[in-house]
Chain A
Amino acid sequence: MSPITVSPAAEEVFRKRKTKVQSWYFDLTTAMNYWGKDRLYHHTPPISLIFALREAMRLVVEEGLEERWERHRVNQLALIAGLEAMGLDFLAKNPADRLPTVTAVMVPSGVDDAKVRNQLLDEFNIEIAGGFGAVKGKIWRVGLMGYCSQKPFVLLFWPRWKSACSIRASACQAVPASERRFGVIRKWRPLPLSAVSQPVRCNLCHAERSVRRFRFRSEGISA
């Protein structure tokens, strides 16, 4: 699903159009007839994905938008600290230009971009992305997005990375550098992996069962 919002000024532009929108499917005025108060049929939407989006947004509300921004910012700083300790460089040289969710790292000369990514995937089930377009083969892109922006994920990355990447120089420095970064930022609340047992209602038979499941919790935030 692709969330979209349209300001009253843009809505006014839609109203004043002289020609029809070239795309029937993406005509927001008629699509909104379904999402507006009339609920008129437009196209048949993927219901399960709307359920997924609703739940994902409930997670955002529970955590808080500002807390979430802070979490993404802090976890990326720890990732960057580790990468810097390994002697790696970044595509965005100016720290202020770096997008907290996606870190673009320069592939060092002599290192095979795809080989490193394949090894991470095949041996450790970790996927990172390569570059494409003008920077194909020149960068790796490490995403810490939403659920993936977690301290445990940042820290477990280093030993695997060290093993997959033939950059020997100070790869082991990444862990303490990253940990120090976590340590110095006081606002950080660790996310311990906790096993909790709680009753879950079966969606089919509606019986209540106690299911042991794993979840990540943030301190001080009630889920």
Chain B
Amino acid sequence: MTQHVGELHPPVRLMLTPGPSSIDPRVYRAMATPLVGHMDPWFKGCMDETQILLRHIFQTENRITMPLSASGSGGIEASVLNTLEEGDEGIVAVNGVFSERMYEIATRASSKVVKVEAPYGKPVDAEDVRRAGKGKKIKIIGFAHGETSTGVVTGIDAYRKVADDLGALLIVDTVASLAAVPSRCGQAAD
């Protein structure tokens, strides 16, 4: 090795961004605690605790509630790929980069997914989604609760109703809103 690589000393930034954002010192402390194995009996208890907390944060009793080892985009990918099969019809409400990404992922799972768009800065009207799904066998309706790229929030309740009426599952991206903006997934989302 010809070049000296020094110890890590990142600058101390105040991260007023849509993520990553500065974190509480207690979280840094937790990350600096000793590692245990992923099959360690003690860690199994720690996983239980993590899931109890997750269910509280999501306000749900859902059995499948876990942290995926991935960024938020991985979460979107998981929710779309697990529900859609080729030939399934779906609608994604697109009003920014991240909901566009959900649409892009969904088209890779099924060629019959369509998008309903709104200009950046506005939410997609749930009634537009209803119109797009009328008379079709819609399997999923997806949208970003908080669209990080435009700073727009989309109300869940209207979408819940449209999804129920169309017999579709609802996929909600809450990466920018979980535990910060009201959302009760127990009643709200699939």
A residues contacting B by CB (< 8 A) are 1-11, 13-14, 17-19, 21-23, 25-29, 31-32, 35-36, 39, 41, 43-61, 65, 68-69, 72, 90-94, 97-104, 121, 124-129, 131-135, 139, 141-149, 153, 157, 203-204, 213-216
Contact = CB atoms under 8 A, between A and B. Distances in A.
A93 to B, nearest CB: 7
Counting chain A CB atoms within 10 Å of each CB, the highest count among B22, B121, B181 belongs to: B121
B95 to A, nearest CB: 10
A97 B123 contact: yes
A142 B69 contact: no
A41 B43 CA distance: 13
Interface in B28-74: 29-39, 43-44, 46-47, 49-51, 53-60, 62-72, 74
Contact of B67 (A22, A25, A50): A50
A210 B27 CA distance: 19
B96 to A, nearest CB: 7
A61 B53 contact: yes
A130 to B, nearest CB: 10
Contact of A23 (B15, B29, B81, B189): B81
Contact of A21 (B18, B31, B57, B82): B82
Interface of B: 11-19, 21-27, 29-39, 43-44, 46-47, 49-51, 53-60, 62-72, 74-75, 77-79, 81-83, 85-86, 96-97, 100, 108-109, 120-123, 139, 146-153, 169, 175-182, 185, 189-190
Contacts of B71: 2
Nearest to A79: B16
A213 to B, nearest CB: 7
B74 A26 contact: yes
A103 B64 CA distance: 32
Contact of A99 (B55, B83, B139, B146): B146
A98 B37 CA distance: 42
B59 A57 contact: no
Contacts of B21: 143, 145-148
Contacts of B75: 2-4
Given A1-B70, A5-B54, 12 more contacts: A13-B169, A50-B67, A52-B31, A53-B50, A60-B57, A97-B153, A144-B16, A145-B176, A149-B180, A153-B16, A215-B25, A215-B26
Contacts of B31: 48-49, 51-52
A153 B14 CA distance: 9
The 8 closest A-B pairs by CB, nearest first: A2-B75, A104-B151, A55-B30, A57-B53, A6-B64, A35-B66, A1-B67, A26-B78
